[in-house]
Amino acid sequence: MNIASIGAATSSPLARLSLAHRRVLFSYVILLAVYAACIAVNREFLSWSTLRLQLVQAAFIGIIAIGETFAILIGQIDLSVPWTITLSAILGSNLAVQYDAQWVAFAVVIGVGIAVGLLNTLGVFVLRVHSLIWTLSVNLLLQGVALIYTNAVAPTTRMPSVARFLALGNVGDLPVAFLVWAFCGALAIVALRTLPFGRYVYAIGNRQAAALLSGVRLGRMHAIVFIVSALGSAFVGLLLSGYSSQAYLGMGNDYAMPSVAAVVIGGTQLIGGQGGYVGSIAGALIVVLLQAMLITLNVSEGAREMVFGGLLLTLAFLFIRRSR
Amino acid sequence: MRPPESRRPTGQHGKGWQRLGEYAGPLSCAVGLVIVIGCYALRQPLILSPFGLTSLANVSVALALAAVGQSIVLLAAGLDLSIGGQITLINCVAATTMGNSGFSIAAVVVVSLLIGLGTGFVNGVVIAYGRVEPLIATFCTAFIFTGMALIILPRPGGSIPDGFAFALTESWGPLPFSLILLAGAVLVVWVPVFGSPLGRYIVAVGDDAESARVSGLPVRRIELASYMLAGLFAAVAALFLAAETTSGDPSIGEIYTLNSLAAAVLGGVSLSGGRGTVIGPILGSFVLAIIMNALGVFDVSAFWQDFIEGLILMVVLGLGGLRLLAAGNWLTLFHQ
């Protein structure tokens, strides 16, 4: 905050907040507005059973959004999400059945996550290809791997019970998926705010050359960020396979851009260096509520896509415009 | 440490080398194209016949048109993730309304081009005047355009008159009409635009928008123009696809978003704006499209196609970065 804005800040309490805080506040204002709109469309949104469903869906988007927030904060983006989800779900369920052990599914999640993360780091950091296009290409490669694998081995219909518990189980009145999200989200916020990791992330996003000269290990940081992102997607793959009781080709297709949208609506700047995970939580809930509201409206697929795009665009226009 | 005047890797060479460096993308694509067609011809000599060349041109031209449109936006430091959505929308409109008479065909072609300008206008207004990030704005408009296409044509169908299809996909001797269409689009749109101040302004805005603004350029109008031009190229691509498939398909445009970006990057267009040629993305599109088409000829199982496509993209994109590994000083990398 510069001196001029401190002088002007005495007039309104809102102006006293920094720009970053105002963006996060805005994202929660949007969340309230979207929730109010949902209730206006359908009273069902007041009931806990409906809200529970939305919390589970938001947990999927929100867990992916952790890695996506990190990636966007360092000025990159990870669009290899869809087929990381699918590949980990199909491999995980198949191998868990084959070896008849639950832990195999987790081993697959970790293996796929680390492999995809390192592959993304190779292109984005070592070879310096733009992350937008490199991660999309990796996504295509993973799609190919999934196709080749399912051609050789038919996907199983028996999902590991741990996946079903994580996605469908309850602790008291709260869904397990939501609790997992809350735990991971809290870790992400603590990591960004209090650990050296967080300071390095913001440093890289603000100016990479300065971060390098200050002794930040850029390669290691890129690797951590992309591995966290891929691990999140791979883990959501496991959750989704339990949630829908099947692992199928294309199951992750609707998760990449919604999670990016969640991060951006949450006030994180796409150029990197500004924002955080607190806003992304609101972003994930907003995206999920919008999708749910459109489904209850019972309109055709085309109209639903149009309205989703239009609403998201309106939100972006109203709240997260670039300065200049 | 390099001396300060050679911060860019190309700076240490003479001016000739520098100019060659600018054309590294197009040149490597041209070499790649010769290799790809050579390998293809070894396996299937018929590909060098007029019929074979026409079919090669036909599988590549739609991507080339999309990539040229994408490149205009990239030159202005923008990004258009809605290219595929625009192609889908216009393809569906054309396939459902074209009819059979000469007048209706001409009317639909004009209307399609206008829709392209219109979708580009929407993108441009939202990004240049609404100040929404290009990535998120065109992601949203892509949903809108695809949604409209789904309303117009929920499943593949519609029809395209044979005359229109022939006029775009047949050949005159060894010269495919599709190449004439591509050359025409470039000559009628790209050459005049980039020969005029507007073209230089687009590059100036892409290179450094703030400097361009301080120099008194109407940055917003220039950005708007770049998206409208991209929409126009998307419309031509959509009309060509309609002629090639003689029908409409509400999912036809999907692959053109990533592939147009990839072709532009292969052809040496910078994703951060201000640098690129027109021949680069065109050659890049031909390389990509022909490789993907050739996989069938080389008995590659359909299940392996996506894997190989992804691998080829990654290898080709990665090759461009290999020379950076030789950079003596890390800081030189940040001045790219």
pLDDT of residue B12: 45
Range name among B5-9, B205-209, B234-238, B288-292 with the lowest pLDDT average:
B5-9
Q: Yes or no: say if B95 and B239 are a contact pair by the CB < 8 Å rule.
A: no
Paired tokens of A178: 């939501």
- Backbone φ and ψ for A122, nearest 5 degrees, come out as -55, -50
Least confident of A102-116, A235-249, B12-26, B287-301: B12-26
In chain B, which ranges are continuous DSSP H helix? 15-22, 24-43, 50-75, 83-97, 102-124, 134-152, 162-169, 177-185, 191-195, 197-207, 209-214, 219-245, 254-266, 279-297, 302-322, 330-333
pLDDT digits (tens, 9 = 90+) for A114-156: 999 999 999 999 988 888 889 989 999 999 999 999 888 887 7
Residue A4: inside a domain:
no
Nearest to B118 by CA among B110, B160, B252: B110
Q: Does B180 touch chain A (CB under 8 A)?
A: no
Residue A162 has a pLDDT of 87
Weakest-pLDDT range from A115-129, A192-206, B271-285? B271-285
User: What is the pairing mode between strands A170-171 and A174-175?
Assistant: antiparallel
Q: Is A270 on the interface with B (CB under 8 A)?
A: yes
Element containing residue A171 per DSSP (H, E): strand A170-171
Least confident window among A39-48, B45-54, B60-69, B297-306: B297-306
Bridge partners (DSSP) listed for residue B211: none
Instruction: Quote the number of domains for chain B.
Output: 1
A203: Cβ–Cβ under 8 A, 6 or more apart, which residues? A210, A211, A214, A216
Q: Does B317 touch chain A (CB under 8 A)?
A: yes
Q: Which of the given ranges, A164-168, A232-236, B12-16, B56-60, has the highest pLDDT on average?
A: A232-236
Q: Which residues of A101-131 are buried (b: 16+ CB within 10 A; e: fewer)?
A: eeebbbebbeebbbbbbebbbbbbbbbbbbb
Residue A73 placed within a domain: yes
Q: Is B197 on the interface with A (CB under 8 A)?
A: no
Average pLDDT value for residue range A280-302: 89
User: What distances in angstroms separate CA A15 from CA A19, A20, A23, A317, B17, one per listed residue?
Assistant: 8, 11, 12, 20, 53
Whether the Cβ atoms of residue B143 and residue A287 lie closer than 8 Å to each other: no
Length of chain B, in residues? 336
Question: If you average pLDDT over residues A241-257, what whole number do you get?
Answer: 88
- CA B274 – CA B264 distance, rounded (Å): 13
**What residues in A contact B265, CB-CB < 8 Å?**
129-130, 133
**Whole-number pLDDT of residue B9:** 44
Does residue A135 lie within any of the structural domains? yes
Q: Do A141 and B154 touch (CB under 8 A)?
A: no
Whether A16 contacts chain B with CB within 8 A: no
Give the H or E element holding residue A5.
Answer: helix A3-8
Residues of A whose CB is below 8 A from B146: 302, 305
Expressed as residue numbers, the domain containing A185 is 20-319
**Other C-beta atoms within 10 Å of B247: how many?**
19
Contact: B311, A138; criterion CB under 8 Å: no
The ipTM estimated for the assembled molecules is 0.82
- Please answer yes or no on whether A317 and B330 come within 8 Å at the CB atom: no
CATH number at residue B274: 1.10.3470.10
- Rounded to a whole number of angstroms, the distance between the first and last alpha carbons of chain A is 17
Our count of domains for chain A comes to 1
| A11-27 residue pLDDT tens | 567 777 787 788 888 88
Q: What pLDDT is attached to residue A3?
A: 47
* CB nearest B311 (choices: A139, A141, A312): A141
Task: Give residue A87's pLDDT band: very low, low, confident or very high (50, 70, 90).
Answer: very high
Range of the domain at B145: 25-38+46-320
Q: What is the mean pLDDT of chain B?
A: 86
In this complex, is the C-beta atom of B288 within 8 Å of any C-beta atom belonging to chain A? no
pLDDT in tens, B78-101: 999 999 999 999 999 999 998 888
Q: Tell me the count of A-B CB pairs closer than 8 A.
A: 171
Is B258's Cβ below 8 Å from some Cβ in A?
yes
Q: Is residue B198 part of a domain?
A: yes
Query: What's the pLDDT score for residue B6?
Result: 37
Structure confidence at residue B28 as a pLDDT band (50, 70, 90): confident
What is the torsional sign of CA B201, B204, B208, B214?
Answer: negative
Whether A57 contacts A64, CB under 8 Å: no
Alpha carbon B290 to its chain centroid, in Å, reads: 15
pLDDT at site A323:
60
Q: Does B300 touch chain A (CB under 8 A)?
A: no
CATH at residue A285: 1.10.3470
- CB contact (8 A) between residue B147 and residue A306: yes
Cα distances (angstroms) measured from residue B233 to each of A146, B114, B209: 34, 11, 24
Residue A8 domain-assigned?
A: no
Question: What CA–CA distance (Å, rounded) separates A110 from B93?
Answer: 46
- B47/chain A closest Cα distance in angstroms: 27
Residue B10: the pLDDT is 42
Which residue in B133, B148, B333 has the most chain A C-beta atoms within 10 A of its own C-beta, making it the best mutation to test that interface? B133
Q: How high is the pLDDT of residue A59? A: 96
Of B140, B310, B321, the CB nearest to A312: B140
Q: Which chain B positions have a beta carbon within 8 Å of A138's beta carbon?
A: 310, 314
Give the integer Cα–Cα distance in Å for A282 and A62.
9
Instruction: Tell me what the mean pLDDT of segment B2-12 comes to.
Output: 41
Cβ neighbors of A13 (< 8 A, separation 6 or more) are none
